[in-house]
Structures are given as C-alpha cells and as structure tokens.
Structure 1
Amino acid sequence: MGRLIVFKVGSSTLMGPNGELDLGFVRSMCEQIAELKRRGDRVVLVSSGAAAVGRSLLGFNERPSDIPTLQACAAAGQTTLIERYAEVLAQDGVRCAQVLLTRGDVVDRTGYLNARNTFERLLELGVVPIVNENDTVSVREFSFGDNDMLGAIVASLIDADSYVILSDIDGLYTTNPDTNPDARLIERVERIDADIIAMAGGAGSTYGTGGMATKIRAARAMIAAGIPMTICRGRAEHALVSAADGRGRRTVFECPGQGSHEQARKLWIGLAGLSRGSVSIDAGAVRALESEGASLLPVGITAVDGTFAEGDTVSVLGPGGQLVGRGITRYSSEDLWRVHGLRLDVIARFLPERADCPVIHRDELLVF
C-alpha cells in the first residue's frame, strides 16, 4: 500500500488576483492528486476557500466582520468549491467526497472514532476526502480556528505518513522575506523552541485566517504525533508531487522519534480536546515532563487560570507562558488553587484521598 498524505491548501493560494477561485490552479492541483493516486498513494485534501468563494458569489468586496454573514458566505461558497473539485477530479477518473467537521465532532471520543472510520472507509474505496471546517454552524467554542490545525488533527486521526501545507510562501524564514532581503529559508526543523516561534508572524492575507504562527502550532502537534510536516509554496511547479517526494524549496519539520507515535488517546487529548483552562508550571516541572516523561504534580504548579472540573482538558504553560503540553486534569480548578505548590505528602494531611494523585497523569498528557 502506498503512502497516506494529507495536503492542506489555504484560501490565499486558491484565490486568484481577481478575487475569484483560480480554476487553473485547482486543475493543476487535481491533476497532481490523480498522479499520486496512480502511483498507489492515498490522498486527503483539507481545503480552505469556501468563505472566500462565497464572498465573490454574494458580491462582497471585503471580508465581512459579522459571524452570520461569514457563515452565509461559507454556505454559498462550499457548494461551488466542492463542485469544482469533483468536476476536475472526475476528468482523471478520481472520485471525491466532502467531509465537513467542527471541533465538536471530534472532541467527543465517540465522534472522533466515527470520523476516523469514515475516513478509513472512503480511502479503502479509493475516494479522495476533501475536508473543511463546517463554518456554517461552527461557533467559536467548537471552532478549530484555522485549517492548518484542522489538517494536523486529520493527519493524526488517520495516522498519515506525512502532512503538507501548501502555502503562499516557500516555508519558514529567519525573518520576513517580504521586508528583509537577507531572510534565509530554514529547510529542516526538529524542535519547536522559542527561536522558531519568534520567527513566525501573524495572518498574512486578506483571504486566510492563518499565518506562519498557526503553521508552527500545527508543526508542534505533528512532531508530537511522529508525523513529518512540510510547508511549501503551493503555486510552485508540481508542488504537490514534489513535496510528497521530498523535493523542491520547502521547510520540513522532522520527527527524531519517528516510528514511535504517541498513543492515540494522548493525541486526541492534545489536539482535539477543548482546553477549559490552564496551569502554569516552574522550570523544574518542565524538565520533568519533557525529559523524564513524568506526570505533573501539584508541587510544580505556580498558577491556575480558568474554571474547570476534574476530567476536563487543560493546557500546561511554562514559566514564559509557552505551551508545554495539554492533558486531562484530576483536580478541579478550585481544589488545585488550594494545593498548588505543595508536595503530595503535605496534601495527604488534609486531602487523604489525593495522597498519590498527580494533577495530570503522564498517560493522559501530550507534551509538545
């Protein structure tokens, strides 16, 4: 069986300079998908663009600012977008299927498994799933926020061999190449550290919601999942096939521990789970989590933010506010306020039921 590759294409790459869907680019992309399928590869396409296409159809010159109008644009544009994909792919004898997701569909374990089963069956049938967020009904709480992360969640859900983001830039640069002629393309990244995060900026176009920062967040998730991720320029010649084959100008986020993927449950918690709050930890706790694979204990916690219950997903932040991991807490925020910073033997004196209870057990913690 060939490789399983997830491609994500953004609105800024799909849309032409006239504000319309670039059918020539869509045709080129679909021809490359067909080429990969003839080789025996399986392909999933995560496609933005519905709202941007809908803007054009409904006569909006600028991106609407209110949610109902944005959702109306997404509803109008999604039909046109999937029709174009279906028409062009059919010319090469390739069938496709539309898959619309919200975070609410995958944050529940049953929904997560149902979505995975649907993807697996479509791929068995030789169909190309075309995925987008269901923007017509998605609300902020259950929104993925950007399709870079949606693609990462899909890649981890189906245990893809690689994840490729087709962008409007060659990859991650040391500085902004539009303003600094000395900017250098970083070809390989093995670890997302403060220096890498500092190189990422904000959203980069009038069509898309993501920028390099969202791609770095997706890359961090993919490294944790053991799935290599590539960022490349989507409009470069033969971009999809070149990226799949490891050629062309690009940034590759490699996985030093590739082959030892995190447990599926950890990935579900870390990527799809909706964070209800956060805990901040000291440098010693960060070292214990990252280097020793330890559970998170109350003694290492310096602050608690938000209101959450036992069993909720919470984010774990380092001393500088950086995201260290995400996991399921065994304490409520109220209880954690009482015991944070204390050793377990001290806690046992007034909460004996918590004598051996970590805040987050290592089996329920995804460390990025």
Structure 2
Amino acid sequence: MRGPFVPPLTTRALNRATLDRQLLLRRADLTVPQALERLAGLQAQTPHTWYVGLWTRLAGYTPEPTARLLADGAVVRMALMRSTIHLVTAADCLWLRPLVEPVIERSTLGSFGRHLTGLAQAELVTTARDLLASEPLTFSDLGRALARRWPERDPAALAQAARAWVPLVQVPPRGLWGRSGPAAHTTVETWLGRTVDPAASVDTLVLRYLAAFGPATVLDAQRWCGLTRLSEVADRLRPHLVTFRDEQGRELFDLPDAPRPDPDTPAPIRFLYDFDNLLLSYADRSRVVTVDYAGQGFGRTNEQPRSVLVDGYVAATWKLATNRDTATLTVRPFRKLTAAEHERLDAEGARLLAFLAPNATAHDVVVRSPQPE
C-alpha cells in the first residue's frame, strides 16, 4: 500500500531553504566562529574577498575582529574541501583536514604524480615538518629546501606533495584585512599546538554539509567536499534524516528539524564575493543560478564573477574600482530590474561601498543596462 503523495520540493523552496542555511535571508547576529561553524567553513583562497562573504551574512559586521581571530589562530585558512583554501575555526580544521586529505592527494597526484613516483612518503613528511616547524615557508621556498634532499626531483612537485600529506595552515599576515604578505605555510601542530583528529567521521562531514546546504543530493555533497561514494554514508544515515524529491525526481536528504522556509519568503538583495560557497557547493546550482555564465561572457578564463542575488537568484555581477578619492561599484544585471529592485540594489550597493571603501570621499553605484539576449 502506497503512502500519501508528497509533492516535490520546488526550485524556489530549495532556494529559500538554501538562503536560510547560508545566512542570506537575513543578516545573523552571530560571532564569526559561530557563523563559520554554521556555514561549514567559507571558501577563502583569495586573500581578502571572502570578507564580503561575512559582511553580507552578519549583522553589524566589521573586518578587524576577524583579522585578529586569524592572527591569533582562533580561525585558520587552509586547504580543505575540493583542495581549496577555506576559512574555518581552529576546532573544525582538526577534524575536517583528515577527512578531505584523499581529495587533496588525488588532486596533487593528478598534476604532479609523474614527478613523485617512488618517493618515500614518510621521509618527505618528516623532512617537510621539520622545515616548516622552523619557519613558515612559501611553496617555492619549501620546494627548494626539499630539493636539497631530493635533488633529482621537481621542487614544485615536492612542495605540493608536502601540501597533500602534511596538514598546513596559511599564516598571517596573508589574509589580514588591509594587509598583505607571502602565501607562507606552517604545520597545524606548529600553528595551533594541536594535532588533527585521525578518527574523524565522514558521517559528521555529511551532517554538517546538510545543516549548511541542505536539502541536497548525494552528488551535491560530493561536489562540495570532493569525496566520492557518499551514497553509502547517506544510506547509513538515512534513519536519522528526512528525504524529499526535487522537481526532476532526484532524492534530497536533510536534517529533520532544519529550517525550510515558505517559498514565498522575501529574499533581500545580497552581494556575493567571487568564490562564495553558495555558488560552488552543489552539483546542480539551479536553486540559485538560472543564468548561463558562459553566455554572459564568463568562463573563458579563470575569472570567477562576483555575483548579486535578486529575489534569491543570481541576477547580476559587480565590480569595484577606485580612482583617487572615488569608489565606484558597477553592477551589470542579466535582466531588466524592476524599479523596486533597482532601488534596493542601489541601497545595498551603497552599504557595500561603505564597507569596502570607507575612506573614499565619494561613493558611486552604477547599474548598467542588461546585456541584450
């Protein structure tokens, strides 16, 4: 006997659930560490653009306290999901890093494997740890130092092998607001005085993903972290989860008591940074992206556009330019905006300019005409 018919979750319902989990329906009154735990980390391979990701999500956000957390080791920037640099709490990095090491190793061997055949992994790990415990090093410097022990090996490959096999933190001043520095690394143990947790559970990883990004498919979770075979984990967790179907009939998993707002919940204008989690953590991004980036002139280079959400969906890109004492925010919509949308976009753009260019004497928000289809 069949159970009652359960209608599929619409794309708009998924959109509003996702925005809620990602703190994009309303700015949250959370500390930065609390927000990073809620978001399952923040992609942060650029030194500074990720600060916009916190500003657009947190009430009353200012960047200087986050920089202090980074300098003090309360939060760290390190290679994690998809082998890319993420900003996470120190506590989260200790269990996340061992779980995603296979992803980092797979990426490294795909690019440098032919240079690493026959290399004694344990010896390289010990040598790299000793070098990085003495002082933080860039990968160029680390590669040259390792090549003194293995002169027949490619220095860049040696450094990347160390990145894959040794949990590393990218150290300040790199990433500090208003400052810069080399992309230097040291070990987690040296920076935090603690070791990673080799007993970390992939079940915890999937549950944290669903809390931050659900409802989602197994393929979505795999795209986010880079791991494979997560269907086995989802099946193991199934008694503790709820399931839905989307409009294409795909199975979605979620936490039973996670927020799933009414699809008609209003969604504010939100400016996203270039590597925002929202755009990179799903196999199917149609819950937030309905435009073809390539058709809008992106995708031919490594450029990742900085996007604007209008009514919860990507509807524009933005760029900041400064000229002497003037800061200009240029927004390029993908469609014609209503008068109300235009007004709200101007207001939020002015707030973004005040955050990014507080010392400019003039702020200007320019909204271009949409590109003809």
Q: What TM-score do you get using the length of structure 2 for normalisation?
A: 0.25
Q: What TM-score do you get using the length of structure 1 for normalisation?
A: 0.26
